[in-house]
Chains A and B, each alone.
Chain A
Amino acid sequence: MSSPLISLRSVDAGYRNSTVLHNVTLSVSRDSFTGIVGPSGAGKTTLLRLLLGSMKPQRGVIDRAARLPVSYVPQLETVDWNFPATVSECVLMSRAARRVPWASRAERGEVAAVLDRLGIGDLGERHIRELSGGQQQRMFLARALIRKPQLLLLDEPTSGVDISTRHAVLHLLADLHADGMGIVLTTHDLNGIAAHLPHLVCVNKHIVAEGTPEEVITPDVLEETFGAQMEVLQHLGMLVVVDPGGPRRMVS
């Protein structure tokens, strides 16, 4: 494993007087392709914010590589998609240090290249409201990638998108990781996302377990993480999580 870009040691974190995460120790590097798994309110986004540096720990130490370029892809619903901007304008927002409003020729070329790579090269002048959920996710990715980050953090990158888009996003992230970019994402989708990642961190107010899907996706770990009994099956070499308390039993 390459040297850590960010290390959390015995970190407590939360908001105002409440502590959301307790005693978290975690390292991420350029080798990381990690999924943070847990139920709503478990502290996934808080952990992401600690890694981003946008919130300070209440206790513990966070070591961060100097001048580390980190990019962040938030959940789609955190912005107003009616905002008057085109896809290209949104991507260029990441280059906020430029002191004139218009894009340079080099910037226009970079935007075109990153949009092409993400398969939305023909949508640069489209208003952001006119994009599908998958295209909006790709636009966010383009905005993150144009900063050339060493580490990419994504908050629920596949929530609200269809299955084919979910596959496309996963493949894209795998390509970026193969190019040497560290990737950390949050998800509550065990079968669609987590089972496909090489490394998982299960969170529920603290780190419940950490390791490969085979090590982490077990009934005991899932029960402690999600507070519900789940079964884990093998299907065509893949782990499949089944929730026996789900809708079928309720219907019968």
Chain B
Amino acid sequence: MDTLLDPLSYAFFQKGLIVATISGALLGFIGVYIVLRGMSYIGHGLSHAIFGGYAAMQLFAAQLYVLGAGLWGVASALAITNVARRSRLGADAAIGVVTTASFALGVALFARFGSSGPAFDNALFGSILGITNAQIFWLLVVTAFTGIVVFTRYRALMFTTFDPEVANVSGVRTGRTEALLMVMLSLAILVTLTVIGVTLVAAMLVIPAVIARMLTDSFAKMLMLSTVVGSFAGLVGMYASYFAEVPSGAMIVLVGAVIFIIVLAATGARGLRRSAGLDSHTETPARQGVR
């Protein structure tokens, strides 16, 4: 027992535990919308895009890197949405072009000029070292913002996710709703990046949501379950990372993967049937905009 409580005696670990648990919950919560829209790849792309902004801001105004990376991420998200909607490129191709270019820029800037902020490895794979109270504050702000938006726009978000064309003609401003979702996603990735890491954030967007989908056919329950699974993976993964002495992001994702395997084994064909099609980037005529 003492061994389990031992890491809690360190202030940095306490902060890490709080951030990991809330990060897992936030990514799990918002991941439901991403997964149900068949846009799992966007989390992967956006985290890489934000890395570019993160690196660039280190050069010009290191103390503002959170703000700069956030704006970069939001701009990337809106660019992806815009490119996918207006051009003949699919969302996958748009994500591939916009975000990998941004990531490449980040790598180039880090390699050429180095970092005055968090280390390169930490940005990629997550670290609990050096978490500040300000980071916890912003994580809480983004979590509260996301919760309020989803609460007040629950039906509009659900309708836009399920049937965007009919939502649009039924009075839902689908363009604005999609943009709001992209802003929430960008902010969520930004404030969870320090603990989870650029390369692993996407997994925490997808894994809890897929697990929740295998367990329920109810949208509201899926939101709750995904949030719980995400926070559990964050909590247990953070603990495990301390004892295993591996980056926190990697351990959090591994815990999520283990839960996935257990749920897959327990739900069997029923779970597979429920989660069928989540990875298909099938474009409905409405999303394609052509007919």
Interface residue ranges, A against B (CB under 8 Å): 15, 45-46, 49, 52-54, 70-72, 74, 78-80, 82-86, 89-90, 92-101, 127, 129, 143, 147
Q: Nearest Cβ in chain B — how far from A51, in angstroms? A: 10
Q: Nearest Cβ in chain A — how far from B86, in angstroms? A: 9
A100 and B162 form a contact (CB under 8 A): no
Choose one: A53, A71, A78, A127; the contact of B163 (CB below 8 Å): A78
A101 and B151 form a contact (CB under 8 A): yes
A147 and B219 form a contact (CB under 8 A): no
The A-contacting residues of B in range 26-65, CB under 8 angstroms, are 36
Using CB atoms, name the residue of chain B closest to A79.
B163
B220 and A79 form a contact (CB under 8 A): no
Using CB atoms, name the residue of chain A closest to B280.
A80
B163 and A74 form a contact (CB under 8 A): yes
Interface residue ranges, B against A (CB under 8 Å): 36, 151-156, 158-159, 161-163, 165-172, 213, 216-222, 273-274, 276-277, 282, 284-286, 289-291
Q: Nearest Cβ in chain B — how far from A50, in angstroms? A: 12
Q: 23 A-B pairs, CB-CB below 8 angstroms? A: A15-B291, A52-B169, A74-B286, A78-B165, A78-B284, A79-B163, A82-B274, A82-B277, A83-B36, A83-B161, A83-B219, A84-B219, A85-B218, A85-B219, A93-B158, A93-B167, A93-B170, A94-B159, A96-B172, A97-B155, A97-B171, A129-B217, A143-B166
Q: Nearest Cβ in chain B — how far from A156, in angstroms? A: 12
Q: Nearest Cβ in chain B — how far from A14, in angstroms? A: 10
Instruction: Point out which of B161, B217, B282, B289 has the most chain A C-beta atoms below 10 A from its C-beta.
Output: B217
A96 and B171 form a contact (CB under 8 A): yes
A93 and B285 form a contact (CB under 8 A): no
Please judge, given known A-B contacts A71-B170, A78-B165, whether A45 and B291 are in contact too, CB under 8 Å: yes
Choose one: A70, A94, A101, A129; the contact of B220 (CB below 8 Å): A101
Please judge, given known A-B contacts A78-B286, A84-B216, A96-B155, whether A90 and B171 are in contact too, CB under 8 Å: no
B166 and A98 form a contact (CB under 8 A): no
A72 and B166 form a contact (CB under 8 A): yes
| CB neighbours of B290 from chain A (8 A) | 15
Q: Nearest Cβ in chain B — how far from A141, in angstroms? A: 12
Please judge, given known A-B contacts A15-B290, A71-B170, A78-B286, whether A85 and B162 are in contact too, CB under 8 Å: yes
B162 and A78 form a contact (CB under 8 A): no
Choose one: B152, B155, B156, B222; the contact of A84 (CB below 8 Å): B222
B163 and A54 form a contact (CB under 8 A): no
Please judge, given known A-B contacts A46-B291, A92-B155, A101-B154, whether A78 and B171 are in contact too, CB under 8 Å: no
Q: Nearest Cβ in chain A — how far from B225, in angstroms? A: 10
In the complex, A49→B274 CA distance in Å? 32
Using CB atoms, name the residue of chain A closest to B170.
A94
